[in-house]
Structure 1
Protein backbone atom coordinates (compact mmCIF):
# COMPACT_ATOMS: atom_id res chain seq x y z
CA UNK A 1 0.00 0.00 0.00
CA UNK A 2 2.91 2.37 0.64
CA UNK A 3 4.14 1.83 -2.93
CA UNK A 4 0.64 2.54 -4.22
CA UNK A 5 0.40 5.75 -2.15
CA UNK A 6 3.84 6.86 -3.36
CA UNK A 7 2.77 6.22 -6.96
CA UNK A 8 -0.27 8.45 -6.43
CA UNK A 9 1.90 11.27 -5.09
CA UNK A 10 4.36 10.95 -7.98
CA UNK A 11 1.61 10.83 -10.61
CA UNK A 12 -0.11 13.86 -9.12
CA UNK A 13 3.17 15.77 -8.65
CA UNK A 14 3.20 16.67 -12.34
CA UNK A 15 0.68 19.43 -12.91
CA UNK A 16 -2.31 18.33 -14.93
CA UNK A 17 -5.43 20.12 -16.10
CA UNK A 18 -7.21 19.53 -12.79
CA UNK A 19 -4.61 21.03 -10.47
CA UNK A 20 -3.68 23.83 -12.87
CA UNK A 21 -7.29 24.87 -13.30
CA UNK A 22 -7.82 24.61 -9.51
CA UNK A 23 -4.93 27.02 -9.02
CA UNK A 24 -6.48 29.26 -11.66
CA UNK A 25 -9.85 29.37 -9.96
CA UNK A 26 -8.14 30.11 -6.64
CA UNK A 27 -6.10 32.90 -8.22
CA UNK A 28 -9.02 34.38 -10.10
CA UNK A 29 -11.89 33.99 -7.65
CA UNK A 30 -10.57 33.12 -4.20
CA UNK A 31 -10.56 30.14 -1.87
CA UNK A 32 -14.33 29.54 -1.60
CA UNK A 33 -14.81 29.39 -5.38
CA UNK A 34 -11.70 27.22 -5.69
CA UNK A 35 -12.99 24.74 -3.14
CA UNK A 36 -16.37 24.49 -4.92
CA UNK A 37 -14.49 23.82 -8.15
CA UNK A 38 -12.37 21.14 -6.46
CA UNK A 39 -15.57 19.50 -5.14
CA UNK A 40 -16.71 19.23 -8.76
CA UNK A 41 -13.33 17.83 -9.79
CA UNK A 42 -13.64 15.27 -6.98
CA UNK A 43 -17.08 14.12 -8.15
CA UNK A 44 -15.86 13.98 -11.77
CA UNK A 45 -12.78 12.04 -10.72
CA UNK A 46 -14.97 9.54 -8.85
CA UNK A 47 -17.06 9.04 -11.99
CA UNK A 48 -13.96 8.49 -14.13
CA UNK A 49 -12.57 6.11 -11.48
CA UNK A 50 -15.78 4.08 -11.55
CA UNK A 51 -15.74 4.01 -15.36
CA UNK A 52 -12.11 2.88 -15.47
CA UNK A 53 -12.71 0.23 -12.76
CA UNK A 54 -15.71 -1.09 -14.70
CA UNK A 55 -13.63 -1.43 -17.85
CA UNK A 56 -14.97 1.56 -19.78
CA UNK A 57 -11.45 2.82 -20.44
CA UNK A 58 -10.73 -0.46 -22.25
CA UNK A 59 -13.81 0.14 -24.42
CA UNK A 60 -12.72 3.72 -25.13
CA UNK A 61 -9.16 2.63 -25.93
CA UNK A 62 -10.47 -0.10 -28.26
CA UNK A 63 -12.86 2.26 -30.08
CA UNK A 64 -10.67 4.51 -32.24
CA UNK A 65 -13.32 7.08 -33.16
CA UNK A 66 -14.44 7.49 -29.54
CA UNK A 67 -10.88 7.74 -28.25
CA UNK A 68 -10.07 10.31 -30.93
CA UNK A 69 -13.23 12.31 -30.17
CA UNK A 70 -12.50 12.48 -26.43
CA UNK A 71 -8.85 13.37 -27.08
CA UNK A 72 -9.89 16.10 -29.53
CA UNK A 73 -12.40 17.59 -27.07
CA UNK A 74 -9.91 17.57 -24.23
CA UNK A 75 -7.12 18.92 -26.42
CA UNK A 76 -9.29 21.80 -27.72
CA UNK A 77 -10.51 22.73 -24.24
CA UNK A 78 -7.04 22.57 -22.74
CA UNK A 79 -5.50 24.43 -25.70
CA UNK A 80 -8.06 27.18 -25.11
CA UNK A 81 -7.25 27.26 -21.40
CA UNK A 82 -3.49 27.22 -22.07
CA UNK A 83 -3.81 30.11 -24.54
CA UNK A 84 -5.79 32.12 -21.98
CA UNK A 85 -2.99 31.50 -19.49
CA UNK A 86 -0.13 32.25 -21.88
CA UNK A 87 -1.68 35.43 -23.27
CA UNK A 88 -2.91 36.80 -19.94
CA UNK A 89 -0.21 39.48 -20.23
CA UNK A 90 1.37 40.77 -17.08
CA UNK A 91 -1.47 39.63 -14.86
CA UNK A 92 -1.29 36.36 -12.98
CA UNK A 93 -4.75 35.27 -14.04
CA UNK A 94 -5.16 31.70 -15.10
CA UNK A 95 -8.85 32.00 -15.89
CA UNK A 96 -10.77 35.18 -16.74
CA UNK A 97 -14.52 35.19 -16.33
CA UNK A 98 -17.23 37.27 -14.75
CA UNK A 99 -18.49 34.37 -12.67
CA UNK A 100 -16.32 31.73 -11.06
CA UNK A 101 -16.33 28.21 -12.46
CA UNK A 102 -18.31 26.17 -9.97
CA UNK A 103 -18.94 22.58 -9.05
CA UNK A 104 -20.36 21.69 -12.48
CA UNK A 105 -17.32 23.09 -14.32
CA UNK A 106 -15.03 20.92 -12.21
CA UNK A 107 -17.24 17.88 -12.68
CA UNK A 108 -17.29 18.30 -16.46
CA UNK A 109 -13.51 18.68 -16.78
CA UNK A 110 -12.60 15.23 -15.48
CA UNK A 111 -14.40 13.10 -18.10
CA UNK A 112 -12.45 14.87 -20.88
CA UNK A 113 -9.19 15.06 -18.90
CA UNK A 114 -6.77 12.61 -20.58
CA UNK A 115 -4.45 12.56 -17.57
CA UNK A 116 -7.32 11.34 -15.35
CA UNK A 117 -7.83 8.24 -17.50
CA UNK A 118 -4.13 7.53 -17.85
CA UNK A 119 -3.39 7.91 -14.13
CA UNK A 120 -6.46 6.03 -12.91
CA UNK A 121 -5.91 3.17 -15.35
CA UNK A 122 -2.32 2.83 -14.13
CA UNK A 123 -3.39 2.95 -10.48
CA UNK A 124 -6.24 0.47 -10.83
CA UNK A 125 -4.44 -2.06 -13.01
CA UNK A 126 -1.04 -1.73 -11.37
CA UNK A 127 0.07 -2.19 -7.78
CA UNK A 128 -1.95 -5.30 -6.89
CA UNK A 129 -3.04 -5.32 -3.26
CA UNK A 130 -5.34 -8.35 -3.05
CA UNK A 131 -5.40 -11.38 -5.29
CA UNK A 132 -8.89 -12.52 -6.32
CA UNK A 133 -10.64 -9.56 -4.64
CA UNK A 134 -10.85 -7.00 -7.44
CA UNK A 135 -13.72 -4.85 -6.14
CA UNK A 136 -12.34 -4.77 -2.59
CA UNK A 137 -9.03 -3.64 -4.02
CA UNK A 138 -10.77 -0.99 -6.16
CA UNK A 139 -12.60 0.33 -3.07
CA UNK A 140 -9.45 0.48 -0.91
CA UNK A 141 -7.48 2.15 -3.71
CA UNK A 142 -10.27 4.71 -4.10
CA UNK A 143 -10.06 5.65 -0.41
CA UNK A 144 -6.25 5.90 -0.49
CA UNK A 145 -6.37 7.90 -3.72
CA UNK A 146 -8.78 10.46 -2.28
CA UNK A 147 -6.86 10.79 0.99
CA UNK A 148 -3.99 12.08 -1.18
CA UNK A 149 -5.84 13.56 -4.18
CA UNK A 150 -8.16 15.93 -2.30
CA UNK A 151 -5.48 17.64 -0.15
CA UNK A 152 -3.20 18.08 -3.17
CA UNK A 153 -5.95 19.87 -5.08
CA UNK A 154 -6.80 22.04 -2.07
CA UNK A 155 -3.10 23.00 -1.81
CA UNK A 156 -3.16 24.05 -5.49
CA UNK A 157 -6.20 26.26 -4.83
CA UNK A 158 -4.35 27.86 -1.92
CA UNK A 159 -1.28 28.25 -4.16
CA UNK A 160 -3.42 30.16 -6.66
CA UNK A 161 -4.87 32.34 -3.88
CA UNK A 162 -1.33 33.05 -2.61
CA UNK A 163 -0.08 33.93 -6.09
CA UNK A 164 -2.81 36.50 -6.44
CA UNK A 165 -1.66 38.19 -3.23
CA UNK A 166 2.00 38.49 -4.33
CA UNK A 167 3.25 41.72 -5.82
CA UNK A 168 5.27 40.19 -8.68
CA UNK A 169 7.00 42.06 -11.47
CA UNK A 170 5.47 42.02 -14.95
CA UNK A 171 8.29 39.78 -16.19
CA UNK A 172 7.74 37.25 -13.39
CA UNK A 173 3.99 37.25 -13.99
CA UNK A 174 4.46 36.63 -17.73
CA UNK A 175 6.95 33.83 -16.99
CA UNK A 176 4.43 32.17 -14.65
CA UNK A 177 1.67 32.42 -17.26
CA UNK A 178 3.80 30.95 -20.03
CA UNK A 179 5.25 28.15 -17.87
CA UNK A 180 1.76 27.14 -16.66
CA UNK A 181 0.46 27.09 -20.25
CA UNK A 182 3.42 25.05 -21.47
CA UNK A 183 3.01 22.63 -18.56
CA UNK A 184 -0.63 22.05 -19.48
CA UNK A 185 0.25 21.44 -23.13
CA UNK A 186 3.05 19.07 -22.13
CA UNK A 187 0.66 17.10 -19.92
CA UNK A 188 -1.90 16.89 -22.74
CA UNK A 189 0.81 15.73 -25.15
CA UNK A 190 2.09 13.07 -22.77
CA UNK A 191 -1.42 11.83 -22.04
CA UNK A 192 -2.24 11.71 -25.74
CA UNK A 193 0.95 9.76 -26.40
CA UNK A 194 0.08 7.33 -23.59
CA UNK A 195 -3.46 6.78 -24.86
CA UNK A 196 -2.59 6.41 -28.55
Structure 2
Protein backbone atom coordinates (compact mmCIF):
# COMPACT_ATOMS: atom_id res chain seq x y z
CA UNK A 1 0.00 0.00 0.00
CA UNK A 2 2.89 2.36 0.78
CA UNK A 3 4.44 1.63 -2.62
CA UNK A 4 1.13 2.52 -4.25
CA UNK A 5 0.91 5.78 -2.27
CA UNK A 6 4.46 6.72 -3.30
CA UNK A 7 3.67 5.92 -6.94
CA UNK A 8 0.58 8.13 -6.74
CA UNK A 9 2.61 10.97 -5.25
CA UNK A 10 5.40 10.89 -7.83
CA UNK A 11 3.09 10.34 -10.81
CA UNK A 12 0.77 13.20 -9.87
CA UNK A 13 3.21 15.82 -8.58
CA UNK A 14 5.08 15.94 -11.91
CA UNK A 15 3.88 18.74 -14.18
CA UNK A 16 1.18 17.80 -16.61
CA UNK A 17 -1.75 19.58 -18.22
CA UNK A 18 -3.95 19.40 -15.11
CA UNK A 19 -1.58 20.86 -12.55
CA UNK A 20 -0.03 23.41 -14.91
CA UNK A 21 -3.41 24.71 -16.03
CA UNK A 22 -4.59 24.76 -12.41
CA UNK A 23 -1.61 26.88 -11.41
CA UNK A 24 -2.49 29.10 -14.36
CA UNK A 25 -6.09 29.53 -13.26
CA UNK A 26 -4.86 30.37 -9.75
CA UNK A 27 -2.41 32.90 -11.16
CA UNK A 28 -4.98 34.47 -13.46
CA UNK A 29 -8.17 34.35 -11.37
CA UNK A 30 -7.34 33.60 -7.74
CA UNK A 31 -8.45 31.02 -5.20
CA UNK A 32 -12.23 31.01 -5.66
CA UNK A 33 -12.17 30.41 -9.41
CA UNK A 34 -9.15 28.14 -9.08
CA UNK A 35 -11.07 25.99 -6.59
CA UNK A 36 -13.97 25.62 -9.03
CA UNK A 37 -11.56 24.56 -11.77
CA UNK A 38 -9.89 22.14 -9.31
CA UNK A 39 -13.32 20.62 -8.60
CA UNK A 40 -13.81 20.08 -12.34
CA UNK A 41 -10.39 18.44 -12.59
CA UNK A 42 -11.33 16.23 -9.63
CA UNK A 43 -14.59 15.09 -11.25
CA UNK A 44 -12.80 14.61 -14.56
CA UNK A 45 -9.97 12.55 -13.13
CA UNK A 46 -12.42 10.32 -11.28
CA UNK A 47 -14.38 9.77 -14.49
CA UNK A 48 -11.10 8.76 -16.14
CA UNK A 49 -10.45 6.43 -13.15
CA UNK A 50 -13.84 4.79 -13.64
CA UNK A 51 -13.20 4.45 -17.36
CA UNK A 52 -9.87 2.75 -16.66
CA UNK A 53 -11.20 0.53 -13.85
CA UNK A 54 -14.22 -0.68 -15.84
CA UNK A 55 -12.19 -1.17 -19.01
CA UNK A 56 -14.34 1.33 -20.94
CA UNK A 57 -11.30 3.49 -21.75
CA UNK A 58 -9.42 0.45 -23.09
CA UNK A 59 -12.39 -0.61 -25.23
CA UNK A 60 -12.88 2.90 -26.66
CA UNK A 61 -9.18 3.46 -27.29
CA UNK A 62 -8.88 0.02 -28.90
CA UNK A 63 -10.86 1.43 -31.84
CA UNK A 64 -8.19 2.93 -34.14
CA UNK A 65 -10.38 5.82 -35.33
CA UNK A 66 -11.34 6.88 -31.81
CA UNK A 67 -7.76 6.49 -30.60
CA UNK A 68 -6.45 8.64 -33.46
CA UNK A 69 -9.00 11.40 -32.83
CA UNK A 70 -8.23 11.34 -29.10
CA UNK A 71 -4.50 11.39 -29.79
CA UNK A 72 -4.72 14.34 -32.18
CA UNK A 73 -6.94 16.35 -29.81
CA UNK A 74 -4.74 15.59 -26.80
CA UNK A 75 -1.40 16.33 -28.42
CA UNK A 76 -2.80 19.34 -30.25
CA UNK A 77 -4.17 20.83 -27.06
CA UNK A 78 -0.92 20.26 -25.18
CA UNK A 79 1.16 21.86 -27.95
CA UNK A 80 -1.26 24.80 -28.09
CA UNK A 81 -1.06 25.29 -24.34
CA UNK A 82 2.75 25.00 -24.34
CA UNK A 83 3.09 27.65 -27.04
CA UNK A 84 0.69 30.01 -25.25
CA UNK A 85 2.80 29.67 -22.14
CA UNK A 86 6.17 29.98 -23.90
CA UNK A 87 5.20 33.04 -25.93
CA UNK A 88 3.42 34.88 -23.15
CA UNK A 89 6.33 37.34 -23.05
CA UNK A 90 7.58 38.63 -19.76
CA UNK A 91 4.17 38.52 -18.12
CA UNK A 92 3.35 35.54 -15.93
CA UNK A 93 0.71 34.02 -18.13
CA UNK A 94 0.02 30.37 -17.58
CA UNK A 95 -3.20 30.98 -19.49
CA UNK A 96 -4.77 34.07 -20.95
CA UNK A 97 -8.56 34.16 -20.73
CA UNK A 98 -11.05 36.79 -19.76
CA UNK A 99 -13.26 34.31 -17.92
CA UNK A 100 -12.20 31.40 -15.71
CA UNK A 101 -12.73 27.89 -17.14
CA UNK A 102 -14.72 26.61 -14.13
CA UNK A 103 -15.89 23.08 -13.34
CA UNK A 104 -16.80 22.19 -16.93
CA UNK A 105 -13.38 23.33 -18.20
CA UNK A 106 -11.62 21.12 -15.63
CA UNK A 107 -13.69 18.10 -16.57
CA UNK A 108 -13.08 18.65 -20.29
CA UNK A 109 -9.34 18.98 -19.79
CA UNK A 110 -9.15 15.68 -17.93
CA UNK A 111 -11.23 13.99 -20.64
CA UNK A 112 -8.47 14.71 -23.20
CA UNK A 113 -5.51 14.59 -20.82
CA UNK A 114 -3.27 11.68 -21.85
CA UNK A 115 -1.38 11.87 -18.56
CA UNK A 116 -4.63 11.18 -16.65
CA UNK A 117 -5.20 7.97 -18.63
CA UNK A 118 -1.58 6.86 -18.41
CA UNK A 119 -1.33 7.49 -14.65
CA UNK A 120 -4.63 5.80 -13.84
CA UNK A 121 -3.85 2.81 -16.05
CA UNK A 122 -0.48 2.39 -14.34
CA UNK A 123 -1.95 2.75 -10.86
CA UNK A 124 -4.94 0.47 -11.28
CA UNK A 125 -3.27 -2.25 -13.36
CA UNK A 126 -0.24 -2.57 -11.09
CA UNK A 127 0.65 -2.19 -7.42
CA UNK A 128 -1.60 -5.00 -6.22
CA UNK A 129 -1.60 -5.07 -2.42
CA UNK A 130 -4.84 -7.03 -1.76
CA UNK A 131 -5.11 -9.54 -4.62
CA UNK A 132 -7.49 -11.73 -2.63
CA UNK A 133 -10.06 -8.89 -2.37
CA UNK A 134 -9.83 -6.85 -5.60
CA UNK A 135 -12.98 -4.79 -4.88
CA UNK A 136 -11.61 -3.58 -1.55
CA UNK A 137 -8.22 -2.93 -3.16
CA UNK A 138 -9.82 -0.71 -5.82
CA UNK A 139 -11.80 1.17 -3.17
CA UNK A 140 -8.66 1.75 -1.08
CA UNK A 141 -6.71 2.80 -4.17
CA UNK A 142 -9.42 5.35 -4.99
CA UNK A 143 -9.32 6.70 -1.44
CA UNK A 144 -5.50 6.95 -1.39
CA UNK A 145 -5.38 8.39 -4.91
CA UNK A 146 -8.01 11.06 -4.25
CA UNK A 147 -6.47 12.08 -0.94
CA UNK A 148 -3.00 12.57 -2.43
CA UNK A 149 -4.41 14.02 -5.67
CA UNK A 150 -6.38 16.68 -3.79
CA UNK A 151 -3.44 17.74 -1.61
CA UNK A 152 -1.08 18.00 -4.60
CA UNK A 153 -3.57 19.96 -6.68
CA UNK A 154 -4.23 22.43 -3.87
CA UNK A 155 -0.43 22.84 -3.66
CA UNK A 156 -0.23 23.67 -7.39
CA UNK A 157 -3.17 26.10 -7.03
CA UNK A 158 -1.30 27.79 -4.17
CA UNK A 159 1.85 27.99 -6.35
CA UNK A 160 -0.12 29.80 -9.06
CA UNK A 161 -1.71 32.20 -6.57
CA UNK A 162 1.66 32.87 -4.93
CA UNK A 163 3.38 33.57 -8.26
CA UNK A 164 0.65 36.09 -9.06
CA UNK A 165 1.32 37.94 -5.81
CA UNK A 166 5.09 38.14 -6.34
CA UNK A 167 6.54 41.10 -8.17
CA UNK A 168 9.16 39.11 -10.06
CA UNK A 169 11.63 40.67 -12.50
CA UNK A 170 10.79 40.22 -16.18
CA UNK A 171 13.65 37.74 -16.75
CA UNK A 172 12.36 35.52 -13.95
CA UNK A 173 8.80 35.67 -15.30
CA UNK A 174 10.08 34.74 -18.77
CA UNK A 175 12.11 31.84 -17.30
CA UNK A 176 9.03 30.53 -15.49
CA UNK A 177 6.99 30.66 -18.70
CA UNK A 178 9.69 28.84 -20.67
CA UNK A 179 10.11 26.21 -17.94
CA UNK A 180 6.38 25.53 -17.86
CA UNK A 181 6.20 25.35 -21.65
CA UNK A 182 9.13 22.91 -21.68
CA UNK A 183 7.29 20.74 -19.14
CA UNK A 184 4.23 20.71 -21.36
CA UNK A 185 6.32 19.78 -24.42
CA UNK A 186 7.90 16.89 -22.50
CA UNK A 187 4.39 15.59 -21.84
CA UNK A 188 3.62 16.00 -25.55
CA UNK A 189 6.81 14.13 -26.50
CA UNK A 190 5.97 11.30 -24.10
CA UNK A 191 2.48 11.07 -25.58
CA UNK A 192 3.79 11.23 -29.15
CA UNK A 193 6.36 8.48 -28.70
CA UNK A 194 4.30 6.22 -26.43
CA UNK A 195 2.96 3.03 -28.00
CA UNK A 196 -0.51 3.64 -29.41
Partner of 1:138, secondary structure, is helix
CA contact (8 A) 1:118 1:195 kept: no
SS at match of 1:97: coil
Tell me how far apart the structure 2 counterparts of residues 193 and 55 of structure 1 sit (CA, whole Å).
23
Aligned equivalent of 1:87: 87
Structure 1 unaligned spans of 5+: none
Matched-pair contact (CA < 8 Å) for 2:34–2:157:
yes
1:143 paired with 2:118, answer: no
TM-score by length of 1: 0.95
Tell me the distance in 2 between the aligned counterparts of 1:194 and 1:141. 25
- How big is each residue's C-alpha offset from its partner over 1:137-166, in whole Å with a ceiling of 9 and x where there is no partner? 211101100110011001101100000111
- When residues 194 and 137 of structure 1 are mapped into structure 2, their CA distance, relative to the original with a 3 A threshold, is farther
Q: What TM-score, normalized by structure 2, do the two folds share?
A: 0.95
Q: Within 1, Cα distance between the matches of 2:31 and 2:123?
A: 29
After the TM superposition, which of the residue ranges 28-37 and 126-135 deviates more from structure 2?
126-135
Who is 1:41 aligned against? 41
- Look up the match of 2:62: 62
Runs (4+) of structure 1 exceeding 3 A deviation are none
The 1-side partners of 2:111 and 2:189 are apart by: 17
Q: CA deviation at 1:136?
A: 2.2
Match of 1:117 in 2: 117
Counterparts of 1:61 and 1:134 in 2: how far apart (Å)?
24
- Contact 2:26–2:161, Cα closer than 8 Å, also in 1: yes
131-140 vs 24-33, greater mean Cα deviation: 131-140
- In 1, Cα distance between equivalents of 2:42 and 2:59: 23
Task: Provide the C-alpha distance between the structure 2 equivalents of 1:76 and 1:190, rounded to a whole number of angstroms.
Answer: 13
CA RMSD of aligned residues (A): 1.2
User: Given that residues 37 and 106 in structure 1 are in contact (C-alpha distance below 8 angstroms), is that contact kept between their aligned partners in structure 2?
Assistant: yes
Structure 2, unmatched stretches of 5+, are: none
Aligned counterpart, 2:100: 100
- 1:71 deviates by 1.2
Structure 2 contact 4–123 (Cα < 8 Å) conserved: yes
SS of 1:10's partner is: helix
Contact 1:25 1:33 in 2 (8 A): yes
Deviation of 1:67 (Å): 1.4
1:132 to partner: Cα distance? 4.0
Summarize the Cα distance change of 1:187–1:42 in structure 2 as closer, same or farther, 3 Å threshold: same
Distance 1:191 1:132 in 2: 34
